[in-house]
Copies of this chain bind each other. A is one copy, B any other.
Amino acid sequence: MVLDESKIPTHWYNIVADLPEAPPPPLHPGTREPLTPDDLAPLFPMGLIAQEASTERWIEIPQAVRDIYRLWRPSPMIRAWRLEQELGTPARIYYKYEGASPVGSHKTNSAVAQAYFNKEAGRTKLTTETGAGQWGSALAFACDVFDLECEIWQVRSSYEGKPYRHVLMETFGATVHSSPSDLTQAGRSFQERFPDTSGSLGMAISEAIEVAAADPNSSYSLGSVLNHVLLHQTVIGQEALQQLAEFGEEQADVVYGCAGGGSNLGGLTLPFLRENLDGRTSTRLVACEPKAAPSLTEGEYRYDFGDTAGMTPLLKMYTLGPDFVPDPVHAGGLRYHGMAPLLSFVKHLRMMDAISVKQREAFAAGVLFARTEGIVPASESNHAIAGALREARQAAEDGTSPVIVIGVSGSGQLDLPAYSEFLAGDMADS
């Protein structure tokens, strides 16, 4: 089921307008007072800062952004007939597939928007960090579209271990450094203190921020966690609602999304939550996180730093603490100690459930999905599929036929080494 281009949403949806109370604000790390727009101005353009704090329900998507969305949006929603058959389940399973985007994941939905608002603000360059590489490739593509320079610090272990990823960023014209690099004060200091380090997201963030903060023509871009990033991703859930209706379904009984920093999960589920809040539906929303980074299922709901170095604003969120180091699971995009404050608040209000999945269960689900639906899902997406499989198997036992929606956030073509490890029986069950 692919909607006509004319059905690409015209607005992003802001859940803040519909929540029963305002989410706790981010705090300045020094004063512990609520953050002001000016506090963020050195790093982000005003257009994005306004979105971050907005309480408007609908925020118009600029035509230039919609023009780029047309390259892969509306993304398909597909009935998983063969998966249902294989499971012998009376459940009706649909998946919303974001892997056909230019870089193979949902990340482009926000990257294009961020590049656009930076261009509008007169910035000429964006910096960012990337771990597994999905966000970095998305921003590289988006900067290419809007003629912005793009400089990316990729965690060294990933830069060296996943060489296809940085080539993809370079193909889109970005400059990619292995982090820690010699190019920043932070990078040089990390190398001195940890001579053999394979890098970390925290280090890469410090390098990208240092370069952006030092140059008034540059901004820093973040691929998840923040409100404006989740906002941009709501095109996913809005389209999914339309597509389910065209399939003739009255509502989704349950929606499964994978949970890392929260951008895919939020983009998929928040439009469904709006329908619930309006009383039109009673859809259960389920966050699927890796057992190795179980912020929603085992973390505390409190103010914490967004990064490991403690340089960012304090965010009220489910967190495992900034020093938490997850096991090196393959779903690099889910290895985050916290969770988007907006989703944390929604979970805190009991409007969303959460489960955790070990990676062998996740990859077993991914292989079954590949063998039935023909799409090899991203490591991250496998967690959502695993959650949905539990539900579909339960439905088979109970003889019920729930409508299940799975968010398949990306393609696993560049995750094949992890599949190899799983198929060989060598994958740790973290």
How many residues of chain A are within 8 Å of chain B by beta carbon? Answer: 43
Query: Within the assembled complex, what's the spacing in Å between the Cα atoms of A373 and B108?
Result: 13
Closest to A166 in B: B420
Contacting chain B: which of A13-21, A33-41, A169-177, A204-212?
A169-177
Residue A351 is within 8 A (CB to CB) of chain B in the complex: no
Residue A78 is within 8 A (CB to CB) of chain B in the complex: yes
* Contact status A164-B417, CB under 8 Å: yes
Per-residue interface assignment for chain A, residues 151 to 193, with 1 indicating a CB less than 8 Å from any chain B CB and 0 otherwise: 0000000000001100110111100000000000000000000
Query: Within the assembled complex, what's the spacing in Å between the Cα atoms of A44 and B163?
Result: 41
Residues of chain B contacted by A413 (CB below 8 angstroms): 104, 164, 168, 411, 413-414
* Contact status B171-A376, CB under 8 Å: yes
Q: How far is the CB of A54 from chain B (nearest CB, A)?
A: 28
Q: How far is the CB of A154 from chain B (nearest CB, A)?
A: 14
Residue A361 is within 8 A (CB to CB) of chain B in the complex: no
Chain A interface mostly: helix
Query: Within the assembled complex, what's the spacing in Å between the Cα atoms of A104 and B100?
Result: 10
Query: Within the assembled complex, what's the spacing in Å between the Cα atoms of A419 and B170?
Result: 9
- The answer, among B76, B168, B367, for a CB contact under 8 Å with A376, is B168
Residue A87 is within 8 A (CB to CB) of chain B in the complex: no
The complex is assembled from copies of this chain, and their number is 2
Query: Within the assembled complex, what's the spacing in Å between the Cα atoms of A2 and B71?
Result: 12
Residues of chain B contacted by A102 (CB below 8 angstroms): 370, 373-376
Residues of chain B contacted by A371 (CB below 8 angstroms): 144, 171-173
Q: Assuming A78-B71, A374-B72, A420-B163, is B367 touching A171 (CB within 8 A)?
A: yes
Residue A141 is within 8 A (CB to CB) of chain B in the complex: yes
Query: Within the assembled complex, what's the spacing in Å between the Cα atoms of A97 and B15?
Result: 36
Query: Within the assembled complex, what's the spacing in Å between the Cα atoms of A417 and B371?
Result: 27
Residue A50 is within 8 A (CB to CB) of chain B in the complex: no
Query: Within the assembled complex, what's the spacing in Å between the Cα atoms of A163 and B413?
Result: 12
Per-residue interface assignment for chain A, residues 396 to 428, with 1 indicating a CB less than 8 Å from any chain B CB and 0 otherwise: 000000000000000101101101100100000
Residues of chain B contacted by A416 (CB below 8 angstroms): 163-164, 167-168, 171
Per-residue interface assignment for chain A, residues 278 to 289, with 1 indicating a CB less than 8 Å from any chain B CB and 0 otherwise: 000000000000
Query: Within the assembled complex, what's the spacing in Å between the Cα atoms of A14 and B251?
Result: 44
Query: Within the assembled complex, what's the spacing in Å between the Cα atoms of A144 and B81?
Result: 15
* Contact status B370-A171, CB under 8 Å: yes
Query: Within the assembled complex, what's the spacing in Å between the Cα atoms of A68 and B373?
Result: 9
Closest to A99 in B: B100
Residues of chain B contacted by A67 (CB below 8 angstroms): 81
Residues of chain B contacted by A76 (CB below 8 angstroms): 2
* Contact status B171-A374, CB under 8 Å: no
Residues of chain B contacted by A82 (CB below 8 angstroms): 145
- Residues 94 to 114 of chain A near chain B (Cβ within 8 Å): 100-104, 108
Residues of chain B contacted by A420 (CB below 8 angstroms): 163, 167, 170
Query: Within the assembled complex, what's the spacing in Å between the Cα atoms of A67 and B371?
Result: 15
* Contact status B164-A373, CB under 8 Å: no
Q: How far is the CB of A244 from chain B (nearest CB, A)?
A: 16
Closest to A103 in B: B374
Q: Assuming A144-B371, A173-B371, A375-B102, is B417 touching A167 (CB within 8 A)?
A: yes
List 18 interface pairs A-B (beta carbons < 8 Å), by A numbering: A1-B5, A68-B374, A71-B78, A71-B375, A72-B374, A102-B374, A102-B375, A163-B417, A164-B164, A164-B417, A167-B419, A167-B423, A168-B413, A171-B367, A171-B370, A171-B376, A172-B371, A411-B413
Q: Contacts A1-B5, A171-B416 given; 20 further ones with Cβ under 8 A?
A: A68-B374, A71-B374, A71-B375, A82-B145, A102-B370, A102-B375, A102-B376, A104-B413, A141-B374, A144-B371, A164-B413, A164-B414, A167-B417, A168-B376, A168-B413, A170-B419, A170-B420, A171-B367, A171-B371, A172-B370
